Amino acid sequence: MKKYVVLLSFLIGIGCFVAFSIIGSEIAPDGTLIEPFFLIPIAYLFLFIGIILGVTFMIQNVINRIKKSRPIT
């Protein structure tokens, strides 16, 4: 379950970058720039969350393996 959360956050982040590229930007007749800029910070946020969760789950996995392999004295 944990790795699916990490994978999902990475996929959402990459999807935001792809959506930003597909939507594109244009200039309105009055000269203002129209673009979906909000997708860029959201993409970075999801990628950062995925990295943090991935590192956290890897550390927990290493700690659990060390606890299981340690002999009881």
SS3 of residue 71 by DSSP: coil
Average pLDDT over residues 46-67: 93
Which pTM does this prediction carry? Answer: 0.81
CA atoms of 36 and 4, how far apart (whole Å) = 28
DSSP 11-61: HHHHHHHHHHHHH--EE-TTS-EE--TTHHHHHHHHHHHHHHHHHHHHHHH
The residue among 2 and 27 whose pLDDT is bigger is 27
Q: What percentage of the chain reaches a pLDDT higher than 70?
A: 96
Q: How confident is the model at residue 39 (pLDDT cuts 50, 70, 90)?
A: very high
Output the pLDDT for position 60.
92
Query: What secondary structure letter does DSSP report for 72?
Result: P
Q: What is the domain partition of the chain in residue ranges?
A: 2-24+35-65
CA atoms of 13 and 40, how far apart (whole Å) = 9
